[in-house]
Amino acid sequence: MALQIFDSKLQSIRAFSPLEAGRVSLYVCGPTVQSAPHVGHLRSAVAFDLVARWLRLGHALDVRMVRNVTDIDDKILVNAAEQSVDWQALARDVEVVFNQVYESINASVELRPHATDHIADMIELIELLISRGHAYAATDGSGNVFFDAGSWSAYGELTNQKPENLEGEADASHGRINPHDFALWKAAKADEPESAAWPSPWGSGRPGWHIECSAMTRAILGEAFDIHGGGLDLRFPHHENELAQSRAAGFEFANYWMHNGLVTVGGQKMSKSLGNGVSVKELFDQGSANAIRYWLGSAHYRTTLDYSPENIADAVGAMSRIQNFVKRASAKSSTSQKFNADALPQPFVDAMNNDFGLPAALAALHDSVRAGNAALDAGGDPAEQLASVLSMLEVLGLTVDEAVEVDEELAARVGSLIEQRRAARDNKDFALADQIRDELQQMGVTIEDTPTQTTWSLNG
RNA sequence: GGUGGAGUGGCUGAGCGGCCCAAAGCAGCAGCCUGCAAAGCUGUAAAACCACGGGUUCAAAUCCCGUCUCCACCUCCA
């Protein structure tokens, strides 16, 4: 089965076919580095990392994936001012945190262009739009430049909006002709740092948000590229405006649009005003990055995913079941190959090809785990299932959690107690054995008896 | 007001005309294992009347009409 993708511009499923045979260009809107990442950032990152992985591993395509960094923005300047720090330092620091988080959840992207490195590209694009009659410098002498939405009849095509139905800006000023015209270039303000302004034909200023992505996609992926992705909340106005600008400039722009669903808490979208945001740190305290990644894949990428500690706990359990199998099977089987496309079960392949149907793919994964466990219990060699599971995990970007490092002193004490308990059990002194077990539990150590030995791990 | 999305077992969450007397996970129950546990593994019940009311069809969770409820976007947001 060929890959089917839900194109959120057409609002329907269609077969995926790259513009250039064998290659895929993918642009995903990355974070505005204004404050620490939250669960929503992770969801988007993982959703599109899975897209890239499947294109690479499942379809042997050469994927060029871009995730930009918006490092100049109103919010960055405001937050920096509030914290009395340099805005560039804030942006840099926040970006470091984002990169760490992306790496820990195995969703890093190599191409990470910064808006501030593409100011010249943006100015060039704005000039092109003006020359084509789709943008204008504000007539009030403010130095702002706006996109002329009225000049572009297709405006609203991405989200099926008619300009007259939009609520419209309360403040249709700053030199706008029409309320739905949006800023391409914002004139420097007196109360903002000089470092946040660049020279331009319209005076000193900085780019509007939307033009950044239009300029960067063009600079890095070209005037036509395969897939544009981002969070559902970016569809309007951000992506609508990107599309209008790029098309008005004469570019083909994205061939497919993909939007990931949002993360809610108690059925409501996370937002600062509601104070229900869940930080990445809070999340990682509840489970390994693998378990979090599993949780993010447990619902289809286009649906809303509700956060709750219980749901995370479920994912931790499910992930540990899979990892247990890999550990058990690896001890019995010599399969070392990490990924083999031929080892992917057909239901898994079909699920991934059906618009990245992760829940069904995970069901296929569990089916292989169960079959492998059954083979193990029957004394057989689970090589086939292990190969399948390892290959699926590779596609899913999941790994087997490594044991946590513990200090030697503790290890020695625990080892000694376990030895004493073993001796007691050999003497059938079960009261003493249980007493030692309780003692270990109080130390925060849980032991597990297997037929041949006793293993232990730290709680929590 | 406009534009989209969603309502499926105790919970999470797939399926989107026939293979659905509805996937998978979690929880429950039983068994294996164990000195006993825990952990692990295996198997499995239930009234899931697929929000509600109509309709189309040989056939509907899936399509159509109506109703109710919830969510998102239309300001910055992944």
- Nearest CA to A361 among A326, A335, A397? A397
What are the backbone dihedrals phi and psi of residue A147, each rounded to the nearest 5 degrees, phi first?
-80, 135
Burial of A111 (0-12, 13-18, 19+ CB in 10 A): middle
Residue A12 is inside which H or E element, if any?
strand A12-15
- Residues 142-181 in A having a C-beta less than 7 A from any atom of strand B are 159-162, 165-169
Q: Is the dihedral of CA A39, A182, A157, A257 positive or negative?
A: negative
Q: Provide the 10 A C-beta neighbour count for residue A271.
A: 11
Say whether the CB atom of A37 is under 7 angstroms from strand B: no
Question: Sheet of A145-147: strands edge to edge?
Answer: A135-137, A145-147, A183-187, A205-207
Domain with CATH 3.40.50.620 in chain A: 17-265
What secondary structure letter does DSSP report for A403?
A: P
Question: CB < 7 Å to strand B — which of 96-115 in chain A?
Answer: none
For CA atoms A262, A267, A271, A275, give the dihedral sign: negative
The DSSP line for A106-149 is: T---SB--BGGG-HHHHHHHHHHHHHTTSEEE-TTSS--EEE-G
Cα–Cα distance between A123 and A212 in angstroms, integer? 10
Task: Return the closest nucleotide (C1') to the Cα of A299.
Answer: B13
Is the minimum distance from the CB of A12 to strand B below 7 Å?
A: no
Nucleotide with smallest C1' distance to residue A294 CA? B25
Residues 329-348 of A with CB under 7 A from strand B: none
Model pLDDT, residue A170: 47
Closest nucleotide to A262, Cα to C1': B78
How far in angstroms lies nucleotide B46's C1' from the CA of residue A234?
44
Give the side-chain half-sphere CA count within 13 A for A249: 27
Question: Per CA to C1' distance, which residue is closest to B75?
Answer: A169
**Gap between the Cα atoms of A4 and A276, Å rounded:** 35
Closest by Cα among A150, A249, A133, A131 to A201:
A131
Whether the beta carbon of A69 falls within 7 A of nucleic chain B: the reply is no
Of A151, A159, A212, whose CA–CA distance to A177 is shortest? Answer: A151
Residues 40-59 of A with CB under 7 A from strand B: 40-41, 43-44
Give, for all 460 residues of chain A, the pLDDT tens digit. Answer: 589 999 999 999 999 999 999 999 999 999 999 999 999 999 999 999 999 999 999 999 999 999 999 999 999 999 999 999 999 999 999 999 999 999 999 999 999 999 999 999 999 999 999 999 999 999 888 899 999 999 999 999 999 988 888 765 545 577 888 888 999 999 999 999 999 999 999 999 999 999 999 999 999 999 999 999 999 999 999 999 999 999 999 999 999 999 999 999 877 888 776 778 889 999 999 999 999 999 999 999 999 999 999 999 999 999 999 999 998 898 887 766 689 999 999 999 999 999 999 999 999 999 999 999 999 888 888 999 999 999 999 999 999 877 667 788 888 899 899 999 999 998 999 999 999 998 988 888 888 887 777 888 877 5
| Per-residue CA distances from A427 to A416, A420, A421 (Å) | 17, 11, 10
CATH tag, A307-396: 1.20.120.640
Angstrom distance, A42 CA to B77 C1': 14
- Return the bridge partners of A279, or none: A38
User: A12-15: long-range contacts (C-beta < 8 A, 24 or more apart)?
Assistant: A13/A355, A14/A256
Biggest distance spanned by C-alpha atoms of chain A? 95
Between the CA of A375 and the C1' of B43, what is the distance in angstroms?
A: 15
Question: Please, are residues A338 and A394 in contact by the beta-carbon 8 Å criterion?
Answer: yes
Structure tokens at A32: 């505005």
Provide the b/e sequence for A219-240 (b: ≥16 CB within 10 Å).
bbbeebbbbbbbbbebbebbbb
Pair of tokens at residue A371: 């079959």
**Distance linking the first and last C-alpha atoms of chain A:** 43
- CATH 1.20.120.640 range(s) for chain A read 307-396
- CATH number for the segment(s) A17-265: 3.40.50.620
Q: Is the CB of A427 under 7 A from strand B?
A: no
Burial A272-310 (b: 16+ CB within 10 A, else e): eeeeebbebeebbebbbbbbbbbbbbebbbeeebebeee
Closest nucleotide relative to residue A166's CA, C1' based: B74
